Amino acid sequence: MWVIWVVTFAVLLPGDLVWSLSVVAFEKSSHYVEATVATVIAVVVLSFVAVLPGSHLFRRAQGWAGGREVDRAGALEDTYTWARAAGVRGLGVNSIGVALILAVVGEIAGASATRLVQYGILGAAFGFGSALFGMHSFLDPALRPARVALAGDTEIGDSLPRSHPTFAAWANLSMLAAAFAFALTGAMLAAVFDRVRDVPVLCVVFASAQALFYAVPITIGAGFASSLLPIRDLAEGTKRVAAGAYSQRLPVVQDDDLGALAASFNRMQAGLAERQRLQAAFGTYVDPALAARLLEQGDDVFTGERRQVTVMFVDVRDFTPFAEANTAEDTVARLNALFEIVVPAVVNAGGHTSTSSSATARWQCLAPPMILRIMPTPP
């Protein structure tokens, strides 16, 4: 979890640093170095408090990563609990923290008491907006590798995600928060650079620079791109299922309806795999085409159909004494050897096969009239 702390620091620092230097420039001060040092130290503390890398909620996950036997379902649940708590904690910590950063930087730059209060309000507004943006779009993707490793190819994570708030609600909140934070930053930058009044076209330059070098890396790179990975997983999963591969499960890594959708997809895939196994097992004793037709008919399988057929019964000579004198495994193996001979012959003739419940293993071979020709072994 120390990695998450480092990444959080890297994500928070650019925005807070831009605001600190903007305050220094707005006050027409030259204390840029002091403001930078104060901001870096403050962001280190803020990111630590927001993440709490030593939290007890990571103990089971860290124990499992260290090779100890732990409750993996509980460790996985801990990651969701931590993410919810960290998101709420981050709103308060970042709002108060950025407000204090700008107030301290304003003091370093020699701002008046009235200005310090205003800088605090600006910092709280920006801190709240940036924290709201990362509340979902950053935390869940950051925990994705740990959750995938904990869940593995098991079902322990399928019941954990909840469907509210939905991914769409989180995405709307994130976009609104990002738009507010960047609009606020743009307004501050426009106020700092006096030449904008004389050359209004510079607004385009500032907006483009902020979008390319600040907004895009944070919103798309650190936020939306990673949070959309479950959708890409689902698209790849549907391609595999369409190709008939049901063995690879989707990772369930988000605490929203995308996580619930991935879990539902896994259950559907398991059902398809079970259907495939049933069809394969059924096809061992019944013509595969007939087995597929019966499975497709569903509830109408026993409604009946009138057809003209040729029926031939095949008995296994001395089957009862053989079954009594041999083990069940040997008996089944001998029957399977018979099936491997008879079933292909009947199927190639356009017929179907079935077994009766008789201990003599009587065979009933159905085919269109005058097609089936199987010669019994002479006694």
165 prior amide bond cis, ω within 30: yes
pLDDT interval class at 44 (50, 70, 90) = very high
What is the model's pLDDT at position 113?
A: 94
Alpha helix positions (H), the chain: 2-26, 32-51, 59-65, 72-108, 113-137, 139-151, 167-192, 195-198, 202-210, 225-227, 229-242, 257-285, 288-297, 319-325, 328-348
- Give the range with max mean pLDDT: 109-123, 337-351, 356-370: 109-123
Farthest CA pair distance, the chain: 115
pLDDT interval class at 340 (50, 70, 90) = confident
What is the model's pLDDT at position 71?
A: 86
What is the model's pLDDT at position 342?
A: 80
What is the model's pLDDT at position 288?
A: 63
Query: What are the tens digits of pLDDT across the range 130-175?
Result: 898 888 778 877 888 888 888 877 888 887 777 667 888 888 888 8
pLDDT interval class at 360 (50, 70, 90) = very low
Q: Which residue has the tokens 């004494």?
A: 321
Candidates 104, 319, 145, 117; CA nearest to 229 is: 145
Angstrom distances, CA of residue 176 to CA of 3, 111, 137, 165, 219: 28, 31, 13, 16, 12
Query: What are the tens digits of pLDDT across the range 220-249?
Result: 776 677 777 888 889 999 999 988 888 888
What is the model's pLDDT at position 154?
A: 81
The whole-angstrom separation of Cα 18 and Cα 218 is 14
Q: Angle, to 10 degrees, between the axis of helix 229-242 and the axis of helix 257-285?
A: 10
What is the model's pLDDT at position 32?
A: 95
Candidates 368, 346, 354, 147; CA nearest to 249 is: 147
Please give the span between the terminal C-alpha atoms of the chain, in angstroms, as a whole number.
77
